[in-house]
């Protein structure tokens, strides 16, 4: 919980990893809740989540914002470590981001993949062969003003990415062949949105 007028960043010292689940077992369940009071600024900036073959994960991030609160968050999914030759052939994944501001829904993002994940990720309408993806969300009274600078930061990036802004929220989505170029691009966008911090 971020109290009135506070400012803080939550991160992690290492990537989160989800390994093979035992057949028939319940998925790993992760629930994160962030409450941001009036005049507060919260940053949710964990490192990547690395998924391994036959993992099972049910994860959700819930963010509750006061009307004038600020939030900057990113969630990254990596389907196997490309440098290690890993491939996620099968998995069960439910990953969601839900944000409310002033008690009203602002965003409900959901990723649902089940079964032959590697084949699903190759589909053009899903990931076009990408094995790493990220969603970055910036909510603030002036969030839309940052759209031009974010798009400029994406210009020439070695990943597929796009940004849009509406209703006091800026959302950037990224797709990449592996985690390294994705991380560099996400950090570049974060540098723009976090300046001068």
Contact indicator for 129, 87 with CB cutoff of 8 Å = no
**Is 193's pLDDT higher than 90?**
yes
Q: Catalogue the long-range contacts made by 110-115 (C-beta closer than 8 Å, 24 or more residues apart).
A: 111/77, 115/90
Angle 171-121-134 (CA atoms, 0-180°, nearest 5)?
25
If pLDDT is split at 50, 70 and 90, which confidence band does 81 have?
Answer: confident
Q: How many residues does the chain have?
A: 197
If pLDDT is split at 50, 70 and 90, which confidence band does 14 have?
Answer: very high
pTM: 0.93
Give pLDDT tens digits for 126-162: 999 999 999 999 999 999 999 999 999 999 999 999 9
What is the average pLDDT score of the chain?
95
Nearest-10 Cα torsion for 70, 154, 107, 2: -20
If pLDDT is split at 50, 70 and 90, which confidence band does 3 have?
Answer: very high
The predicted structure's pLDDT at residue 93: 97
Contact indicator for 179, 78 with CB cutoff of 8 Å = yes
Q: What DSSP string runs through 92-149? A: EEEEEEEEEETTEEEEEEEEEEEE-HHHHHHSTTTTTT-SEEEEEEEESTTGGGGHHH
The predicted structure's pLDDT at residue 85: 81
| CA proximity to 101, closest of 131, 133, 137 | 137
Contact indicator for 129, 82 with CB cutoff of 8 Å = no
If pLDDT is split at 50, 70 and 90, which confidence band does 117 have?
Answer: very high
Q: Across the chain, where does the E strand assignment appear?
A: 7-10, 16-18, 28-36, 41-44, 49-51, 55-65, 70-79, 91-101, 104-115, 132-139, 160-166, 169-176
CA 53, CA 43: separation in Å to the nearest integer?
A: 30
CA 182, CA 87: separation in Å to the nearest integer?
A: 17
The predicted structure's pLDDT at residue 181: 95
- Percent of the chain topping pLDDT 70: 99
The predicted structure's pLDDT at residue 195: 83
CA 177, CA 170: separation in Å to the nearest integer?
A: 24
């Amino acid at each position: 919980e971020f109290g009135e007028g506070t400012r803080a960043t939550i991160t992690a010292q290492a990537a989160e990893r989800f390994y093979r689940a035992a057949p028939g077992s319940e998925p790993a369940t992760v629930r994160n809740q962030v409450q941001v009071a009036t005049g507060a600024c919260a940053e949710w900036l964990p490192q990547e989540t690395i998924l391994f073959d036959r993992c099972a994960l049910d994860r959700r991030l819930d963010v509750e914002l006061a009307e004038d609160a600020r939030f900057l968050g990113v969630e990254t999914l990596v389907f196997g470590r490309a440098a290690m030759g890993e491939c996620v052939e099968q998995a069960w994944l439910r990953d969601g981001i839900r944000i409310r501001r002033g008690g009203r829904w602002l965003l409900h993002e959901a990723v649902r993949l089940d079964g032959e994940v590697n084949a699903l990720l190759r589909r053009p309408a899903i990931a076009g062969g990408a094995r790493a993806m990220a969603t970055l969300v910036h909510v603030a009274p002036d969030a839309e003003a940052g759209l031009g600078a974010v798009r400029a930061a994406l210009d020439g990036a070695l990943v597929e990415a796009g940004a849009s802004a509406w209703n006091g929220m800026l959302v950037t989505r990224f797709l990449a062949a592996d985690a390294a170029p994705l991380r560099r691009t996400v950090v570049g966008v974060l540098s723009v949105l976090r300046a001068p911090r």
